[in-house]
Structure 1
Amino acid sequence: MPLEWEQVNVDAADAAALGRWWAEALGWVVVNDSADEYEIRPEKDRLPGLLFVPVPEGKTVKNRLHLDFRPDDRDAEVARLLTLGARHADVGQTGQEPWVTLADPEGNEFCVLGPRHS
């Protein structure tokens, strides 16, 4: 029996606000905006999605799982995400990596990768 990847769950202090931020950052659509969860997907019927759920506790340590994105232009994308409210994150990088580590408005780390080498 094969598994289908449905979504990644993201704990959030404000699930709707964080979900809206990621929808704008990724250009995705909202498929569920209820009081107990906020879900976005690349398209209405396309998986996987991101499901934001409210939790009472705040984020306290580095994520054990994070998302990596590879845009056409890393620096332009980093600038765009910073304008939307992301911030640079320090997770112990050396400064020589071909990626930039950012955090969303609630502190969840993610990486914006450089060009793929052939």
Structure 2
Amino acid sequence: MPVSLHHIVIDAHDLPRLARFWAEVLGWKILSEKEREVVIGPEETAPTGICFMPVTDPKAVKNRLHLDLTTIAEDRDAEIERLLALGARHADVGQTGDESWTVLADIEGNEFCVVRPKATLIG
């Protein structure tokens, strides 16, 4: 049997704060909170979650791996405003302005994208 994805791990300076940010972004909950790791997910039995692990070094360059988020409805602009209100900020990673996605960064500078709603991705 092939392996399966268990957690996406994000390095963090303030584990509880970053975990709370992402839990709020995704509508997930804190599943486990320990001194050296915090795990969030949609529910206890979910096959995949996000795990936050401590680091001391500062983030220096653009992430080589990032999350793409989407909305179900046509309210992408409203969702981007909600994310900004939670503490996200716009990030410039060299985009031209013609992209169909918006690049944001979380409260510790990790880039992520908000892409077109799922309904408009097909076709």
Q: How does 1:1-118 map to 2 (within 5 A)?
A: 1-71=1-71, 72=73, 73-115=75-117, 116-118=121-123
After superposition, give the CA deviation of every residue in 1:35-88 in whole Å (9 maximum; x if it has no partner).
100000111110210000111111110000000011122111100000000000
Q: Report the identity percentage.
A: 53
Query: Structure 1 length normalisation: TM-score?
Result: 0.96
User: Which structure 1 residue ranges, 4+ long, deviate > 4 Å from structure 2?
Assistant: none
The size of the alignment, in residue pairs, is 118
SS at match of 1:51: strand
Distance across 2 between alignment mates of 1:52 and 1:30: 11
Query: Structure 2 length normalisation: TM-score?
Result: 0.92
Q: Aligned-pair RMSD on alpha carbons?
A: 0.9
Distance across 1 between alignment mates of 2:99 and 2:5: 29
SS at match of 1:3: coil
Distance across 2 between alignment mates of 1:47 and 1:61: 30
Distance across 2 between alignment mates of 1:20 and 1:98: 28
Unaligned runs of 5+ residues in structure 2 are none
SS at match of 2:107: coil
SS at match of 1:52: strand
